Amino acid sequence: MSNLEEVLYNLVRPMADNVDALKVEEMPSSNPREVVIGIHADDEDIARLIGRKGSMASALRQVMSVASHREDKKVTIKFEQEKDAD
């Protein structure tokens, strides 16, 4: 797990009810100066992480932009719901 992935995981873990389904992973990007990090979680947890009108997602992106400043990279966060195994 990269440093930015670990920072984001530590930010979202306390907000998730189902921590077992929570995954934070770096995704491929065509731009070498961009880091794309995906958050995979249950439907309810994704809704909580995005927040009303995207307020929580915006705050997470803002914190991650500060965290990535040292590496001089842009961070993009993607929220994805886990598919039910039913």
Q: What is the mean pLDDT, run by run of 10 residues, along the chain of 86 residues?
A: 89 95 94 94 94 96 90 92 64
Those residues whose C-beta lies under 8 Å from the C-beta of residue 32, and which sit 6 or more positions away, are: none
As beta bridge partners, residue 79 has: 39
| The predicted structure's pLDDT at residue 2 | 78
Q: What is the pTM of this model?
A: 0.86
Q: 């915006």: which residue's tokens?
A: 58
| The predicted structure's pLDDT at residue 1 | 63
Query: Would you give the DSSP letter of residue 77?
Result: E
